Amino acid sequence: MTEVLPKDTIRCDACPVLCYIKLGQTGACDRYANFNGRLVRVDPHILLDRAKSQGAPLVPFLEREGEWDGALMKSKDTFVTAIGAGTTYPDYKPAPFIISSEVEGVDMVTVVTEGIFSYCGVKLKIDTDRHLGPERNLVRAQGEPVGHVTTAEYGSQMLSIGGVHHLTGGTKNEGRVTCETLLYLCNGKEVALTIDDGAQITVAAGKAPVVNGQAEERMRVGCGSATIGMFAKLWFGKVDEVVVVDDHITGVLSEHQAGKMLGVRETGIAIQGRRSTAGRYFQVAQPGTGWGGTNISDPLSILKPFKPKIAWPRLRLLMVSTTGEHFAYYELNESLRPVEKQLPEQLQESVARIRENCEPALTTVLFMAGAGGSLRAGATENPVKLTDSVKHRLTRVTSGGAPAYVWPGGGITFMVDVSRMPEDAFGYVPTPALVAPIEFTLKKTDYAAIGGHMDYVRPLDDVLREKQHQRQLVSLPENPWPLKPDTEGDSRK
Amino acid sequence: MRERATIRFLPDGHRLHLNDGPIDLILDADGHQAEIRRAYLAAAARFVTILEELCAELPLLRRRATHSAELPVSPIARRMADAVTPYCNQCFITPMAAVAGAVADAVLATMTEVACLRRAYVNNGGDIALHLAASENYTIGMVERPERPSLFGTLKVSSGSPVRGVATSGWRGRSFSLGIADAVTVLAETAAQADAAATIIANAVDLPSHPAVLRIPAREIAPDSDLLNLPVTRGVGPLSAAEIVRALKAGQSVADELRSRNLIHAAALCLQGRVRITRNCRDGIRSLTCHSELSTEPAFRSTIEEHLCQK
């Protein structure tokens, strides 16, 4: 049934108030307006301004609110993000903004919407060798389970936080705390987490992790064995034996292939733990937050007595962790027991070299979510066509203008580095679920071919004219320009 | 389930911004971190059902209030009806005149029920519900022109006073006004009462049939307005000093009457740069003080910014 409305009046269906709005007026919310007979949203809405040059300063978001004149801005250098764009409600409506613009002679369309994600979470990569907790153990925030420890990566511990089971599958409080934790992590804020039978950590995207109250500074350069291989030459002739203590593989210079090649003499050293191959030992100690990600605070505890037939008094021994953070220097006494001495100057360089080769330890946060059928229906009448178009790389997916990696296979499951997105790009609804921006950019001809809502496509200039509720930011220089027709490579060249 | 409300922290990481359709709230609370969290969570949980509740009874809430009118069912709608009923004999008023204040009161009540807070406020587009523990106070800035960051005065509400609601009405605001006041700010025991009274007083600041005042039937602007075809103010030309005083006096006499009926505690009326304040405020309320410049006190500033960004 079609309602008969007075001339120039439209009925807003953005919320249950269902306002009648006359031409040029706004509804009760002051957010939706009747603009030339069309319902438009006039909320603060984030636009990205293309960084002018490759060398744009890394002050990522220069806010020019209030002094911006949309007319002066070159529209081709503007990308409308989904941050603040609003969502589709009810779900069968076209996305809030479907914008056409011409880029390098090609007509492009960007479908802009904020998605409400129950199927979402973050993967935390925490650059530390310290043992955070056994794999599969629960990660808790405010006592509530919000995730778990997952497979460790090279030099990093990995946590999986969020997901539909914590958001909606547990108690109400578990859902709320999970949602809050995700929101904080995604918006770059600090979160305190505890791991069952493990560490207490404080993490925030792009910052050094704090493990049991201690800030992590550096990532290890390699395992203990690799460290021996890399720095053997620096040690040769300056010290008789080096042990690089590591939770994974502890390396011993005199037994290691690199030491043998240089002609390092046997020392009669004996190491706790399981010998793997020459000069490489597994499980020298339990995992922990001490030396090299082990639980030891006294490195001598991993040594058995030196073999008296081989070792000699005044034998020089360096023990060092894989990050160079921990080190100790010993000389054997007459009874072949190590006695700690000050690190000789000639060895300080090698320890410093290990340290400088370790990159700054960071926590990085990847947001991961799946765009459901209803969100996709906001882009096209036939949601699967959007999926196909993304798979065939005809459609680019961005989140707040940041590039998203789309996981192969069915659906549109994407990952994005939250630190490449504008600040406070995420919101939440108390369902609980996260609100995240998502934009689909494709050629106009391709958009028509997948059954796009062509009647709702608006020129970019038209959107920019509603400038009073828009906020303009400068795009991050490391992000490819989302509107560039070619999907490969950096766009600003 | 409807999933449209958005709830986020403002960039300061402390104040919470809740939006659902035309409802737009900013909350702040002082106290222990855990208590604040509990209060915010409760507020968020309460918030998401409010719009549906009110919309379910919208036709009733848009009808003129009378003593014999059918009472709405939902608690917030009931607060709205209660707040406007005292005026139903003297003028046309609908429960919608108290909607913003009633929502602010309800969300604040939810917060203080579950959490022990030193101070808290719920600011619903300038209609503010306050919570103050013993010996706490808030300083609130008053703005006459929503688009201009200047104050026509400040007011201080302390725990000893019975005031827990502040509301502002005027023809420049988001809601329609029948009068010509730029802004009328009212202090009352609840935000709903302040909201309704601010509407009544702002309507009374008027110069009937003055040629400099542009009035348009409400439904010509908003076809579903609860004000039917009453003429609402859409523009006011420059007025002489005598006219300004006359209009303000008309408003002030209504404000004084409401004060004597214990419906409000104080009011400040503002028209074209002139301000009038209800006489002899009660104990516990610091009288409204007028400033021509912005104060630099931080609490004060943030309230103003909120007030502005809401408009």
Task: Tell me if A421 is assigned to some domain.
Answer: no
Residue A247 confidence class, pLDDT cut points 50, 70, 90: confident
Task: Tell me if A82 is assigned to some domain.
Answer: yes
**Partners of A282 in the β-ladder:** A249, A274
Q: For residue A89, list chain B residues with Cβ-Cβ distance below 8 A.
A: 2-4
Q: For residue B223, list chain A residues with Cβ-Cβ distance below 8 A.
A: 6, 9, 20, 22
Q: For residue B48, list chain A residues with Cβ-Cβ distance below 8 A.
A: 429-430
**Can you tell me the distance from the alpha carbon of A374 to that of A389, in angstroms, rounded to the nearest whole number?**
17
Can you say whether residue A145 is alpha, beta or left, with left for phi > 0 and alpha for psi between -120 and 50 degrees? beta
Three-state DSSP at B142 gives strand
Of these ranges, A128-132, B160-164, B191-195, the one predicted with the greatest mean pLDDT is: B191-195
Give the global pTM: 0.49
The angle at the Cα of B106, spanning B102 to B111, to the nearest 5 degrees, equals 150
Whether the per-residue pLDDT at B258 is higher than 70: the answer is: yes
How many folded domains does chain A comprise? 4
Determine the pLDDT at residue A471: 67
CA distances, B76 to each of A27, B54, B100, B120, B192 (Å) = 22, 8, 10, 19, 10
The chain A residue lying nearest B13, using CA atoms, is: A189
Q: Average pLDDT, stretch A74-102? A: 70
Whether the per-residue pLDDT at A55 is higher than 60: the answer is: no
The chain B residue lying nearest A117, using CA atoms, is: B3
**Can you tell me the distance from the alpha carbon of A263 to that of A463, in angstroms, rounded to the nearest whole number?**
73
Determine the pLDDT at residue B146: 61
Q: Number of residue pairs across A and B with CB atoms under 8 Å?
A: 79
Determine the pLDDT at residue A254: 95
Task: Tell me if B1 is assigned to some domain.
Answer: no
Kindly report, residue by residue over A25-54, the tens digit of the pLDDT. Answer: 888 877 788 877 877 776 555 555 554 333
Q: Find the range with the poorest average confidence among A83-87, A181-185, A280-284.
A: A83-87
Cβ–Cβ of B3/A433 closer than 8 Å?
A: yes
CATH number at residue B195: 3.10.520.10
Determine the pLDDT at residue A61: 20
Task: Tell me if A370 is assigned to some domain.
Answer: no
CA distances, B52 to each of A21, A179, A191 (Å) = 20, 23, 34
Whether the per-residue pLDDT at B147 is higher than 80: the answer is: no
| CA end-to-end distance (rounded Å), chain B | 30
Task: Tell me if A180 is assigned to some domain.
Answer: yes
Mean pLDDT score across all residues of chain B: 84
Q: Average pLDDT, stretch B103-114? A: 97
- What DSSP string describes A169-212? SS-HHHHHHHHHHHHHHHTT--EEEEETTS-EEEE-TTS--EET
ipTM of the complex: 0.77
- pLDDT cut 70: percent of chain A above it: 86
Kindly report, residue by residue over A190-239, the tens digit of the pLDDT. Answer: 999 999 999 999 999 999 999 998 888 778 778 899 999 999 999 999 99
Does A175 share its domain with A294? no
Tokens found for residue A82 = 């989904």
Report the residue from B4, B20, B224 with minimal CB separation from A20.
B224
Residue B118 C-alpha from the chain's centroid: 22
**Can you tell me the distance from the alpha carbon of A423 to that of B163, in angstroms, rounded to the nearest whole number?**
38
Whether the per-residue pLDDT at B32 is higher than 60: the answer is: yes
Does A105 share its domain with A137? no
Which residue segment(s) compose the domain that B213 sits in? 6-310
Query: Are the CB atoms for B161 and B171 separated by under 8 Å?
Result: no
Using the 3D structure, point to which of A300, A325, A356 is the last residue of a domain: A356
Does A332 share its domain with A387? no
Query: Are the CB atoms for B101 and B195 separated by under 8 Å?
Result: yes
Does A173 share its domain with A266? no
Determine the pLDDT at residue A474: 65
Does A335 share its domain with A388? no
Using the 3D structure, point to which of A201, A219, A237 is the last residue of a domain: A219
Determine the pLDDT at residue B279: 64
Does A272 share its domain with A233? yes
Tokens found for residue B179 = 């009068």
Q: Find the range with the poorest average confidence among A176-185, A288-297, B130-139, B228-237.
A: A288-297
Find all residues with CB under 8 Å of A259, minimum gap 6, and list them.
A228, A232, A252, A253, A279
Kindly report, residue by residue over A335-355, the tens digit of the pLDDT. Answer: 999 999 999 999 998 899 888
Does A124 share its domain with A114? no
Determine the pLDDT at residue A62: 21
Task: Tell me if B204 is assigned to some domain.
Answer: yes
Residue B36 confidence class, pLDDT cut points 50, 70, 90: very high
Measure in Å the smallest separation between the Cα of B21 and chain A Cα atoms.
5
Residue B87 confidence class, pLDDT cut points 50, 70, 90: very high
Cβ–Cβ of B21/A21 closer than 8 Å?
A: no
Q: Average pLDDT, stretch B63-75? A: 91
Mean pLDDT score across all residues of chain A: 83
Task: Tell me if A424 is assigned to some domain.
Answer: no
Determine the pLDDT at residue A76: 53
Determine the pLDDT at residue B20: 87
Does A158 share its domain with A270? no
Report the residue from B3, B9, B13 with minimal CB separation from A429.
B3
Task: Tell me if A486 is assigned to some domain.
Answer: no
Question: Which amino acid type is present at position A480?
Answer: P
Q: What is the CA radius of gyration of chain B?
A: 18
Kindly report, residue by residue over B123-144, the tens digit of the pLDDT. Answer: 998 899 999 999 998 888 777 7
Cβ–Cβ of A19/B224 closer than 8 Å?
A: yes
Does A153 share its domain with A182? yes
Residue whose structure tokens are 């006096």:
B249
Does A103 share its domain with A73? yes
Q: Average pLDDT, stretch A11-29? A: 84
Does A231 share its domain with A341? yes
Task: Tell me if A413 is assigned to some domain.
Answer: no
Which residue segment(s) compose the domain that A257 sits in? 224-356
Does A441 share its domain with A350? no
Give the single-character DSSP code of A256.
S
How many folded domains does chain B comprise? 1
Determine the pLDDT at residue B1: 27
**Over A66-111, what HEC string results?**
CCCCHHHCCHHHEEECCCCCCCCCCCCCCCCEEEEEEECCEEEEEE
Q: What is the DSSP pairing of strand A106-117 with strand A97-103? A: antiparallel
Task: Tell me if A485 is assigned to some domain.
Answer: no
Alpha helices, H only, B98-190: 99-114
Kindly report, residue by residue over A400-447, the tens digit of the pLDDT. Answer: 989 999 999 888 999 999 999 987 889 888 778 898 999 999 999 999
Task: Tell me if B231 is assigned to some domain.
Answer: yes
Measure in Å the smallest separation between the Cα of B244 and chain A Cα atoms.
29
Whether the per-residue pLDDT at A2 is higher than 50: the answer is: no
Measure in Å the smallest separation between the Cα of A200 and chain B Cα atoms.
19
Whether the per-residue pLDDT at A473 is higher than 60: the answer is: yes
Cβ–Cβ of A29/B48 closer than 8 Å?
A: no
Residue A88 confidence class, pLDDT cut points 50, 70, 90: low
Q: What is the CA radius of gyration of chain A?
A: 29
Give the single-character DSSP code of B161.
S
